[in-house]
Structure 1
């Protein structure tokens, strides 16, 4: 065999090995189990997110939901969502036998808490499906969670623009809710706006510490609470 033929044979053998390796890799990939979807009902605790509605409306501007931001009288603190959580991370968009769409009669019963049909539907699809509850049971739990947390009166009724210390907002919520530990609440901001107060609740809706949520608290000295107007 000439040198050229030997070199050609080596190249052919190498190509064959590469093809074999690629085939084995594809076969292994096909045999590997798909990534497990988040399982409904598999979570450790809830986060109740209370949004300062004027901050949402100011931040989103023309893109804000008009059902929420066009309301008169204007909303103050509203429920953004009730989110099932793991100690680290959270499940979302879990498989559910319930429909994606929340029926209008059920939506109307909860507009006092979550002031737009779009918000209610989104929260159900992304978070409610992961609770393992029906639509009605999930939204009933949202109401129970909201009733578990008292709003500080001087903040809930704020009709003027205020620069507030996020730590003072947290302290006001803790004063209004005896037994609420510092590690169970986080005040969040976006830019200069105070956006949300997030309270961690056990599956029985008792207050519980949540270090991962607490670490995401606002670090600004001052944040703006736009007025309810």
Structure 2
């Protein structure tokens, strides 16, 4: 009996201790945002063309498109597929993102995986994504080429920052895969102003000496 009473007291004490611990604010699960912008011809060369995706069709002209807007932790990592009271986006909202994302299916996936963790409804999340993307300038040197071009990652980043001087070296990284430039990842506050990327995100930047920008379809 004494052991049972002692165990019960311990359980009560542990429960009380747990309730006294600070709770994570669902509105503070992330520290900043990452806007990922993909060079579509690289994705087509790696995956999309084999799938018959229309973004890879000749004449589509699909270049830099939004992959997603992602909540990010300052220590690295990110929340995903969060519980939310907001409903899934309706078809018109998804279709409304095709011009900057290339696919209603991608828009749906990005809302489910990342948008659900922002505290915004789908309309607010997509509006924030569009505002962030529309604030960027992509210079001719890194877009709209009929032939592939090879350049150093630092050169590509420098060209982007020259056209977007609000971004410093600490605010944007480039990813690459199979020798091709893949994505620009831009680190932003919730007000969509540039902010330093966390160390883990920066460490995933392209380490190649030279990358290819495949030509537009």
Equivalent residue, structure 1, for 2:35 = 48
Q: In the TM superposition, what are the counterparts of 1:75-154 in structure 2 within 5 Å?
A: 75-87=62-74, 88-100=76-88, 102-154=89-141
Instruction: Give secondary structure in 2 for the equivalent of 1:82.
Output: strand
Change (3 A) 1:223 1:98: same
Alignment partner, residue 156 of structure 2? 169
Q: Where does residue 3 of structure 1 map in the other structure? A: none
1:206-221 alignment to 2 at 5 Å?
206-210=193-197, 211-221=199-209
Give the TM-score of the pair, scaled to structure 2: 0.83
Is 2:143 aligned against 1:156? yes
State the SS of the aligned residue for 1:224.
strand
**Does the CA-based 8 Å contact 2:139-2:163 persist in structure 1?**
yes
The answer to whether the Cα contact below 8 Å between 2:32 and 2:187 also exists between their aligned partners in 1 is: yes
Q: Which runs of 5+ in 1 are unaligned?
A: 1-23
Larger radius of gyration: 1
State the alpha-carbon separation in 1 of the partners of residues 180 and 25 from structure 2: 33
Measure, in 2, the Cα distance between the counterparts of 1:122 and 1:80.
10
Seen in structure 2, the aligned counterparts of structure 1 residues 114 and 61 have a Cα distance that, compared at 3 Å, is: closer
Give the 5 Å matches for 1:178-193. Answer: 178-193=165-180
C-alpha deviation, 1:222, in angstroms: 0.8
Q: Secondary structure in 1 aligned to 2:101? A: coil
User: How many residue pairs are counted as aligned between the two chains?
Assistant: 198
Pick one of 208, 211, 215 that aligns with 1:223.
211
Q: Partners of 2:28 and 2:125 in 1: how far apart?
A: 11
Q: 1:57 to 1:135 in 2, by over 3 A?
A: same
Q: Which runs of 4+ in 1 moved over 2 A?
A: 36-42, 61-65, 67-74
The answer to whether residue 43 in structure 2 is matched with residue 59 in structure 1 is no
What are the Cα deviations for residues 160-217 of structure 1, in whole angstroms up to 9, with x where unaligned? Answer: 1111211101111111111311011101101211111111111110011113322211
Structure 2 CA distance for aligned equivalents of residues 156 and 143 of structure 1: 19
Aligned Cα root-mean-square deviation (Å): 2.4
Structure 2 unpaired stretches of 5+ = 1-6
Q: Does structure 2 conserve the Cα–Cα contact (< 8 Å) formed by 1:38 and 1:92?
A: no
Alpha-carbon displacement from aligned partner over 1:70-106 (angstroms, at most 9, x marks no partner):
3742300000001010112111000012234x32211
Change (3 A) 1:190 1:220: same
- TM-score normalised according to structure 1 size: 0.79
The 8 Å contact of residues 84 and 127 in structure 1, kept in 2 or not, is answered as yes
Query: How far is 1:159 from its partner?
Result: 2.1
* Separation (CA, whole Å) in 2 of partners of 1:97 and 1:71: 41
